[in-house]
Amino acid sequence: ELRPDVIIMQARRPTLGGVEAIRQCKAEHPQTAIIILTMYQEEEYVAELLEAGAAGYILKTAR
């Protein structure tokens, strides 16, 4: 069984939304830090990702 320390995940996913994916990952691996890769920086959306369990996020436009 894999026990990742960190997961880097894209926020918008074709089959499962980022928020739900975070919740599922944290339910199975509560010790794993999840970093979100996103192009969206709206405060409400970022807050939703963090409330779901993401440890942080990186904007795709970051240099």
CATH architecture of 6-59: 3-Layer(aba) Sandwich (3.40)
Going from N- to C-terminal start, the domains of the chain cover 6-59
What is residue 61's predicted lDDT score, i.e. its pLDDT?
87
pLDDT (0 to 100) of residue 37: 93
Taking only the tens place, the pLDDT of each residue in 3-57 is 899 999 998 777 778 899 999 999 999 999 999 999 888 899 999 999 999 999 9
The pLDDT value given to residue 12 = 76
Q: Which of 26, 2, 21, 3 is nearest to 11 (CA)?
A: 21
Inter-CA distances, 25 with 9, 11, 22, 36, 41, Å: 11, 13, 5, 12, 22
pLDDT score, position 18: 86
